[in-house]
Amino acid sequence: MTKKQKKMVFRLAASAVFFAAAVVLEKSSALAWIPFILSYLLAGYDIPLKACRNITKGQVFDENFLMTIATFGAIVAGALEEAVAVMLFYQVGELFSDYAVNKSRRSIKELMDINPEYANLLKDGIEEQVDPYEVNVGDTIVIRPGEKVPLDGIVIRGNSSLDAKALTGESVPVEVGEGSNVVSGSINLNGLLEVKTTKLFDDSTVAKILELVENASSRKAKAENFITRFARVYTPVVCFAAVIVAVLPPLAGVVGLGQSIYSALCFLVISCPCALVISVPLSFFAGIGRASREGVLVKGGNHLETLAEAQIVAFDKTGTLTEGRFSVFDSLPVKGISREKLLELAALAECRSTHPIAQSILAAYGKPVNGEKLSAYREVSGYGASVTADGCNIVVGKRNYLTEEGVCIPEISAPSSAATTVYVAADGVYQGVIFLRDAPKKDAKEAISTLKALGIQETAMLSGDSKEVASAIAREIGLD
């Protein structure tokens, strides 16, 4: 909850206390008007002020003006209870609506989890941890394994793999070396990098994305905007009608001037559409709140309302329709080698790597690896790794990495175009291949089918991944 919202909660709570006290005193004391007025000012002193400011800008007939004249009319007519109740409930509805939208916006920002907290600035050979805002264009920063890239730049020393799926949707890590561009918000997976910055933090990729999220328009729904449009027409009509009620009866000699003015004020109070003003924001608050409990983040009432008329639903791929991480789904060992043995060889070579593919192979192997019997470990970032275990030299990685080591690999067709292949060799002899992929979530296909049953005409997927990978996933889960 923001400071502004906390302040409003305190105001409304205090207003409610004074309102309750006034209702109790009303029957026994002539001073009941004092807590009524205090309650009114605590709840809605800013509404008349907004109305006055809008009048100076030429915006006379809006909901603030309508609330002001209606409640002022009630006060003049002596209906203090009605004046306070209308203003109090109106402000409660506005608070709930504002809280729901801000909570959703914060949740979206937290889920992205790409904002770097610091940068390792390198000056005269001395490394200092500073705020990303303190780094200038042309400065050198150091990025260690596991750290987020804080600013956009060019690699001047080191090689590594970057996890950029939060930015691009590409599930396969990006390999970078000297001269490569790096993008802020991605995560350094293994090697140590020295990067020369090319942009200030305010101009970096991650800052631009966070700005879009943080300042995402919380536009009101059509039903909520209707209140504003309704007030622009309804308010002058009500005011004009109230003037007629106050002036015409005395001129016609039907009633006295005092009685007609009282009738006009009663007309203003009765004409205030408080039920409409209160119920609309509260209904959208309920919808946004329920959606967030189901894990659906809605930026505003207009987006919630749009869902009722949705014809097409488009999904992000990585982490939404898919698991967002690699997993072993198949393997093809040579004759005489079991799948378990193939995984064991791969796990021995990958046990010291932090690369997502290596971690997936270790997870698929599912047993602890005895590092004491390993020696001569070597990893070439983005290509593969090798190790000697009990005198046996094991090489794991891409096809060209193994062929450069003299390993002869037969032509193999992958079971899916979305597969990433890892080849395994022992003492220079090819042992088999392991297939990995970012697999669809178990309920993705069911979700697509359910949407179509609900009347959605078309489903689509947006992805920064390759077309072959995206198409394979789409076919598997039944996307249009």
Q: Write out the catalytic residue numbers.
A: 316
Residues paired with residue 18 on neighbouring β-strands, in sequence order: none
Buried b (16+ CB within 10 A) or exposed e, 261-296: bbbbbbbbbebbbbeebbebbbbbbebbeebeeeee
Dihedrals phi, psi of 140, to nearest 5 degrees:
-105, 130
Residues paired with residue 436 on neighbouring β-strands, in sequence order: 328, 420
Cβ within 8 Å of residue 358, ≥6 positions away: 350, 351, 385
Q: How far apart are the first and last CA of the chain?
A: 41
* Sheet of 140-143, strand order: 126-130, 119-123, 140-143, 193-197, 153-157, 181-182
| 458-462 vs 312-316, strand pairing mode | parallel
Number of H helices and E strands in the chain, helices first, is 16, 17
CA distances from 268 to 211, 228, 244, 280, 399 (A): 44, 18, 12, 21, 81
Cβ within 8 Å of residue 10, ≥6 positions away: none
Amino acid at 170: E
